[in-house]
Amino acid sequence: MNIDRKGILYAVGAYGIWGVFPLYWKLLAHVDSLEVLISRVIWSFVFTFLLILIINQRKLLIEDLKSLWKNKKLFLSLLAASFVISCNWFLYIYAVNNNHVVDASLGYYINPLITVVFGMIFFKEKLSKLQVSAVIVAFIGVISLTIGFGEIPWLALLIALSFASYSALKKQTTLNATRGLVIETLLMLPVAIVYYIYVMSTNSVSFLHVNWQTDLFLVLGGIVTAIPLVLFAKGAKLLPQYVIGFIQYMTPTIVLFLGIVLYHEPFTQTELISFMFIWASIVIFTFSTIFESKKRSAIQQETLNAKSL
């Protein structure tokens, strides 16, 4: 098996798992969304920390923490990243467990386009005419949904904005994906523990108070979180960015299918029209990304050929 095929398998595995996440979080629909989030933070830290010990990266983790302590800007960026990814996790869990799976799908469809806009605003990245067109078409789709229902699709937009913000903040760090997740969950761990102590004192906690299946699913939420992140990190190293960009649309497509077919959420003509704009923008954006990538590769090859002469 060559490197590209391995990379594709890793990426498909990661985005495929993320796509079927609603199946897992629905098992915890009887648990308060905030408790599911807090449990996810705690157990993600536990299992990723154990993984760091197993793969013998404890010293590297300590070095990362020392570097983070010395670099206050990096520390604040990672702290902000920890906060927004926690918000994203909460919004997604809330959407799934409150019959808004289609909204979650819409959020992850438009997330890459918002990420591109953030790149243009915060990192001075230049967009091609086709990429600008893709963003405009997606914007029309959101506007059509807003007009059709008479309200802004806040949940979808917040899911997209929170993950795009997380991507922008992570762009400023160079931490390993697994060790980065350990540190991110570590930063949120004190808040999670304090919250758990609070809900235990009010007797409104589900962990250890419902049944053993609920306890097991809450604990395994940490592993469910960690596995696709590790697969994604491996795939991202082996594949060009445009391939990753194309495969990532697996997630919202699977989520949309589950929302409509399995959970029978409404998908009206208004939503269909809006999604058609979003899908059209994705086609334009993907085509543009592939074209620009091949164009850069051709220029680089010409430069290398000129230098070899």
Asked if residue 298 belongs to a domain, the reply is no
pLDDT confidence band for 309 (50 / 70 / 90):
low
Our count of domains for the chain comes to 1
The pLDDT of residue 198 is above 50 = yes
The pLDDT of residue 239 is above 90 = no
State the pTM of this model: 0.86
The pLDDT of residue 78 is above 70 = yes
Task: Note the pLDDT tens digit of each residue in 14-39.
Answer: 999 999 999 999 999 999 999 999 99
d(CA 290, CA 136): 19
Q: What does pLDDT average to over the chain?
A: 86
Asked if residue 12 belongs to a domain, the reply is yes
d(CA 234, CA 227): 11
CB 36 within 8 A of CB 25: yes
Tokens 């590297």, residue located: 60
How far does CA 37 lie from the centroid of its chain? 15
Tokens read off for 184: 């991110």
Asked if residue 30 belongs to a domain, the reply is yes
The beta strands (E) that lie in 60-171 are given as none
Task: Note the pLDDT tens digit of each residue in 171-189.
Answer: 777 777 778 889 989 999 9
pLDDT confidence band for 2 (50 / 70 / 90):
very low
Task: Note the pLDDT tens digit of each residue in 93-123.
Answer: 999 999 999 999 999 988 888 887 888 888 7
Asked if residue 122 belongs to a domain, the reply is no
- Write the CA distances from 59 to 64, 70, 253, 266, integer angstroms: 9, 17, 40, 51
More confident of the two residues 229 and 266 = 266
**pLDDT, average across residues 269-283:** 90
Torsion of CA 248, 252, 258, 260, to 10 degrees: -150
d(CA 253, CA 12): 13
Main-chain phi, psi angles of 116, to 5 degrees: -65, -45
Asked if residue 8 belongs to a domain, the reply is yes
- Write the CA distances from 249 to 79, 101, 105, 176, 281, integer angstroms: 28, 15, 10, 24, 12
The pLDDT of residue 49 is above 90 = yes
Task: Note the pLDDT tens digit of each residue in 117-128.
Answer: 888 888 777 777
Q: By residue range, what is the domain housing residue 46? A: 3-114+155-263
Tokens 């699913």, residue located: 217
What type of residue sits at position 148?
A: G
> Which are the contacts of 198, defined by CB distance < 8 A and separation ≥ 6?
none
Asked if residue 139 belongs to a domain, the reply is no
Tokens 């994906």, residue located: 177
Asked if residue 274 belongs to a domain, the reply is no
Position 32 scores a pLDDT of 92
Asked if residue 143 belongs to a domain, the reply is no
C-beta neighbour count of 227 within 10 angstroms: 15
d(CA 213, CA 27): 9
d(CA 122, CA 299): 26
